[in-house]
Chain A
Amino acid sequence: MSAVIDTAAKPEVITFTEAFSRALHDAMEMDPAVITLGEDIGDEEGGGIFKVTKGLSTKFGTDRVKTTPISEQAIVGAAIGASLAGMRPIAEIMLMNFITVPMDQIVNHAAKLRFMSGGQTHVPITIRTRTGAGAGTGGQHSDMLEAWFAHVAGMKVVVPSTPADAYGLLLGCIFDNDPCLFIEDQLTRTQTGPVPVKGEIIKLGKAHIAREGTDVSVIGYGRPVRDAMVLAEKLAAEGISVEVVDLRTVSPLDTETVLKSVAKTGRAVVIHEAPRSFGCGAEIAARIQESLYSELKAPVLRVASRDVTVPFSRVLEAAYLYQASGIEAAIRQTLEKRAAR
Chain B
Amino acid sequence: MNKSFTPATLLEIYRKGRLINLIDERFRGLLRSGRLAAVYYSPRGQEILAAAMGVHLQQTDYLVTTYRGIHDQLAKGIPLRPLFAEYYAKATGACKGKGGPMHITHPETGVMVTTGIVGSGLPIANGLAWASQLKKDGRVTLVTFGDGASNIGAFHEALNMASLWKLPVIFLCQNNLYGESSKYAKCTAVDNVAERAAGYNMPGVTVNGNDPEAMWRASGEAVARARAGEGPTLLEAKTFRFMGHYFGDPGAYIPKEEYDAHLARDPMPIARAAVLSSGAATEAELAAYDDEVNAKIDDALQFAADSPFPDVSEIDIDVYGAAA
A residues apposed to B, CB below 8 Å:
35, 63-64, 66, 68-69, 71-87, 89, 104-105, 108-109, 113-122, 153-154, 156, 172, 175-178, 203-205, 252
What are the residues of chain B within 8 A of A172 when measuring CB–CB?
324
What are the residues of chain A within 8 A of B134 when measuring CB–CB?
35, 63-64, 82, 87
Known interface pairs A81-B123, A204-B324; 7 further A-B residue pairs with C-beta atoms within 8 A, sorted by A's residue number: A35-B134, A71-B160, A71-B161, A74-B158, A89-B127, A113-B105, A118-B93
Contact yes or no, B324 A175, CB < 8 A: yes
Considering only CB atoms, which chain B residue lies closest to A79 in the complex?
A: B127
A-B contact pairs, 22 of them (CB 8 A): A63-B134, A74-B161, A78-B127, A78-B130, A80-B123, A81-B113, A81-B129, A82-B127, A82-B134, A84-B112, A89-B127, A105-B154, A108-B117, A114-B320, A115-B99, A116-B99, A118-B94, A118-B96, A120-B95, A120-B106, A175-B324, A177-B322
What are the residues of chain B within 8 A of A117 when measuring CB–CB?
95, 98-99, 103, 105, 318
What are the residues of chain A within 8 A of B274 when measuring CB–CB?
none
Considering only CB atoms, which chain B residue lies closest to A74 in the complex?
A: B157
Contact yes or no, B96 A105, CB < 8 A: no
What are the residues of chain B within 8 A of A84 when measuring CB–CB?
112-113, 124, 127-128, 131
Q: 8 Å CB contacts to A: which residues of B303-324? A: 317-324
Contact yes or no, A69 B161, CB < 8 A: yes
| Distance of B79 from chain A, by nearest CB (Å) | 14
Contact yes or no, B105 A85, CB < 8 A: no
Which one of A86, A105, A203 lies within 8 Å of B123 (CB-CB)? A105
Contact yes or no, B117 A104, CB < 8 A: yes
B144 at the interface (CB under 8 A from A): no
| Distance of A176 from chain B, by nearest CB (Å) | 4
Contact yes or no, A205 B323, CB < 8 A: yes
B residues apposed to A, CB below 8 Å:
62, 64, 93-100, 103, 105-107, 112-113, 115-117, 120, 122-135, 141, 153-154, 157-158, 160-161, 164-165, 317-324
Contact yes or no, B98 A116, CB < 8 A: yes
**3 closest residue pairs by CB, A with B:** A81-B127, A77-B123, A85-B131
| Distance of A63 from chain B, by nearest CB (Å) | 6
What are the residues of chain A within 8 A of B126 when measuring CB–CB?
74, 77-78, 81
What are the residues of chain A within 8 A of B323 when measuring CB–CB?
203-205
For the complex, give the distance between the alpha carbons of A12 and B177 in Å.
Answer: 65
